[in-house]
Chain A
Amino acid sequence: MVDKKKIKVGSPQTGCSSCMPNTFEIPLGPQHPALKEPTHFLLEVEGEIIVNATPRIGYVHRGIEKLAETKTYSANLTLVERVCGICSHIHSISLANAAEGALALEGFEVPMRAQYIRTIVAELERIHSHILWLGVAAHEIGFDTLFMLSWRDRELTMDLLEDISGNRVNYAMNEIGGSRRDMNQSQIDRMLKYMDITIERMERYKDICLNENTIRMRTQEVGILLPQKARELCAVGPTARASGVAIDVRYDDPYSAYGEFRDIFNVVTYDSNDVFSLVVVRIIETIEACIYIKWMLKNIPDGPIFKKAPRKVPEAQILSRTEAPRGELIHYLWSNNTNKPYRLKITTPTLSNINTVSEMMKGDYLADSTITLASIDPCFSCEDRMITVVNNDRRKAKVETWSESQLRKYSNDWHTANKRWKK
């Protein structure tokens, strides 16, 4: 599908502010009714049409990667869960997989039942995250009834998670070497029942979204991202799949228990390349997730859920990829034969997807900017980096990353000033 509006305003290369005197700048954020999290977008508009959008991130930088170097592996599982509250479990799976990958060099193996429990919780998390997104997207297009209804149905999944883990948001289910809590038969029965209800409700939402004019009119042909562009900008997860790019780590590179049901696994794609296609992909993925959970509950093996791992992780550099609800999540771990990581690097899906937003917004109406932004399901608490804005003049703002010597100087100064900081 070719976007006519886009051709009218010209390609982004020619659209600089100096040669287009008619443009007007509108700041969006960091505190804005449409955003639940602090981030900033500078929208350049020509009349009602957005010509350019520049993201500025960094409001949520908390120094997690540095903090991780001061904690032991099992304390780090708690820490990385707090990278993001919505996709918390997948972060801890990622780190556990990385550490266990290093331990596997010494012949360490995680029991299969633990892998199943991890995967079940991860899929439950995907269900709650996708329904949450459906509600937020409905709220952005002014369809609050759907927002309320979908969040009501999300409570079913939250009940299940609370039932298994005791927590609603940060589940603390993982430990290096297995899972912390087991599931009994009554929990499994309850889960099977609730999954049926969730499937039924999601089928209804699918029906609503495919046929309801309110949704179609606000989302069709809005925020177009062509497959070519999606590949170029390294989009991941549902954002890429909604542009017809079939990538999914769960299928391409199975981890935990995903390898067991690869033959029933579907990579959901849809090819209308707009926000509508994102809605459809996410709803179908939710239904699929319910089906996988039901399969896993029926085939879960017996056995231990935990195997005690040695405290010290042998020296290795491990890259662990997982599929978070928003896309591919990468944890890079450098261990050095102690009980603390030497370096932990986290790359989250929103960081890959944020560039696509600028592309999607170009050529759209200003009123559509919020739904376009919400459509990638941004999670800024995941992705914020340390940057320094050198020039505060908006038109010529120059964003610089810190060089190594600058960082070293900052760290030396900081440690002199904060002598009592404990490592």
Chain B
Amino acid sequence: MVLQKIITWARVKSPWIIHVNTGGCNGCDIEVVDVLTPRYDVERLGILIQGSPRHADVLMVTGPATQQMKDRLKLLHEQTPDPKFVVAIGACACSGGIFRHSYIPCLGIDTVIPVDVYIPGCPPKPEAIIYGVAQLLAKLQGKDSPVITPKKIALKDIKQSIEEDLAK
């Protein structure tokens, strides 16, 4: 019980991710990398990108799983140690998106591997990706997913805050 608690704590504090492109248009990939860079900086949540699937806990998959990449995606999923979590990023990965009616069966990654979190959008904004990952972390802790209540902000204030950022 205590051990389980410690393991969950460790897992939530530093989920390591591996980024897999299964044939999307790159738009989602640059947004995933964007999330790691100073403006959004998910390293503050302990998230670190890894090169090898054997070191990773979370598979971040973009792209519609083309015919050539299907088997490779399955392999990568098998190589990731248990327990593993899969985040599908972008409309492509969720359902095939714009490529759904192509003659190559691009039907989304959930036809190949099980998916935990779907982040729709073409491409989703970095904020949406962070929100999706936060939901995954909540799921790991066994909590309900966090609810975001939208707040109205005047456009003026946003511009001002950006200008202040620049002045620094």
Interface residues, chain A, CB within 8 Å of chain B? Answer: 30-33, 36-38, 58-64, 66-67, 70, 78-79, 82-86, 88, 132, 135, 147-149, 151-152, 155, 159, 168-170, 197, 379, 381, 384, 411, 414, 418, 421-422
On whether the beta carbons of A170 and B123 are closer than 8 Å, the reply is yes
Interface: B28 (CB within 8 A)? yes
The total of Cβ contacts below 8 Å across the A-B interface reads 123
Would you call A83 and B25 a contact (CB within 8 A)?
Answer: yes
Given contacts A36-B21, A37-B21, A38-B23, contact A63 B29 (CB under 8 A): no
Interface size range on B against A: 35 or more
Q: Are B51 and A82 in contact (CB under 8 A)?
A: no
Q: Do B30 and A62 touch (CB < 8 A)? A: no
Q: How far is the CB of B29 from chain A (nearest CB, A)?
A: 5
CA distance A155 to B24 in the complex (A): 22
A64 vs B21: C-alpha distance when bound (angstroms): 17
- Bound form: Cα–Cα A84–B123 in Å: 12
Task: List A contacts of B123 (CB < 8 A).
Answer: 85, 168-170
- The interface residues of chain A lying within 8 Å CB-to-CB of B101 are 67, 70, 421-422
Asked whether A38 lies within 8 Å of B69 as measured between CB atoms, the reply is yes
Q: Does B134 contact A (CB under 8 A)?
A: no
Asked if B72 and A132 make an inter-chain contact with CB atoms under 8 angstroms apart, the answer reads no
Does B110 lie at the interface of the complex (its beta carbon under 8 Å from any beta carbon of A)? no
Do A79 and B98 have beta carbons less than 8 Å apart? yes
Contact with A along B13-24 (1 / 0, CB 8 A): 000000111111
Instruction: Report how far A32 CA is from B122 CA in the complex, Å.
Output: 25
A85-B123, A169-B123 as given contacts; A38 in contact with B38, CB under 8 Å: no
Residues of A within 8 A of B53 (CB): 31
A62 and B21 contacting across the interface, CB-CB below 8 Å: no
Instruction: Give the residues in chain A near B102, CB-CB below 8 Å.
Output: 62-64, 66-67
Do the beta carbons of A60 and B66 come within 8 Å of each other?
yes
With A30-B72, A38-B72, A59-B66 as given contacts, are A169 and B99 in contact (CB-CB < 8 Å)? no
Residues of A within 8 A of B72 (CB): 30-31, 38, 59
How many Å from the CB of B47 to the closest CB on chain A? Answer: 15
Rounded to whole angstroms, the CA-CA distance of A82 and B104 in the bound complex is 16
Residue of B nearest to A65 (CB): B102
Whether B1 is near chain A, meaning CB under 8 Å from some CB there, is no
Q: Residues of B contacting A88 with CB < 8 Å?
A: 25, 27
- Per the bound structure, the CA–CA distance linking A32 and B53 in Å amounts to 10
Bound complex: CA A410 to CA B20 (Å): 29
Contact among A78, A152, A381 with B39 in the assembled complex (CB-CB below 8 Å): A152
Listed A/B pairs (13) with beta-carbon separation below 8 Å:
A30-B69, A36-B21, A38-B68, A38-B69, A58-B68, A59-B66, A61-B68, A62-B104, A78-B98, A85-B26, A149-B38, A381-B24, A421-B103
Interface assignment of B148: CB less than 8 Å from any CB of chain A = no
A324: min CB distance to chain B, Å: 13
B68 touches A62 (CB 8 A): no
Q: Nearest Cβ in chain B — how far from A126, in angstroms? A: 15
A352 to B79, CA, bound (A): 35
Q: Is the CB of A61 within 8 A of B67?
A: yes
A84 to B102 Cα, complex, angstroms: 16
**Residue interface bits B58-82, CB-to-A below 8 A is 1, else 0:** 0000011011110010001000000
Distance, CA A32 to CA B38, complexed state (A): 24
Residue pair B31, A381 in contact (C-beta under 8 Å): no
CA distance A187 to B67 in the complex (A): 44
| CB contact list, B111-128 vs A, under 8 A | 122-123, 125
Q: Closest residue of chain A to B98, judged by CB?
A: A82
Chain B residues with Cβ below 8 Å from A82 are: 25, 27, 97-99, 122
Q: How far is the CA of A334 from the CA of B130 in the complex (A)?
A: 43
- Hey, which chain A residues are within 8 Å of B21, CB to CB? 36-38
**Known contacts A62-B104, A169-B31, A422-B101; 16 further A-B pairs (Cβ under 8 A):** A31-B20, A31-B72, A36-B26, A36-B29, A38-B23, A38-B68, A62-B99, A62-B106, A84-B25, A85-B30, A135-B37, A148-B38, A152-B38, A169-B27, A197-B166, A381-B23
Chain B residues whose C-beta falls within 8 Å of the C-beta of A421 in the assembled complex = 101, 103
Query: Which A residues touch B25, using CB under 8 A?
Result: 82-85, 88, 170, 381
* Chain A residues whose CB sits within 8 angstroms of the CB of B20 once the complex forms: 31
For residue A37, which residues in chain B have a CB less than 8 angstroms away from its CB?
Answer: 21, 26, 29
Complex Cα distance, B32 from A37, in Å, reads 13
Shortest CB distance A121–B (Å): 15
Q: How far is the CB of B21 from chain A (nearest CB, A)?
A: 5
* CB nearest neighbor in A for B123: A169
Whether A63 lies near B23 (C-beta < 8 A) is no
Interface centre among A149, A155, A170, A379 (most CB of B within 10 A): A155
Return the contact of A132 from the options B24, B30, B51, B103 (Cβ within 8 A).
B30
- A70-B63 Cα distance, complex, nearest whole Å: 21
Closest to A136 in B: B33
CA distance A70 to B102 in the complex (A): 10
Considering only CB atoms, which chain B residue lies closest to A411 in the complex? B103
B6 at the interface (CB under 8 A from A): no
The yes or no answer to B162 lying at the interface (CB within 8 A) is yes
Per-residue CB contact flags for chain B residues 73-99 toward chain A (1 = under 8 Å, else 0) read 000100000000000000000000111
Given A31-B76, A62-B102, CB of A84 within 8 Å of CB of B26: yes
Kindly state whether residue B8 has any CB partner on chain A within 8 Å.
no
B141 interface residue per 8 A CB criterion = no
**Given contacts A38-B23, A86-B30, A170-B123, A159 and B66 within 8 Å (CB-CB):** no
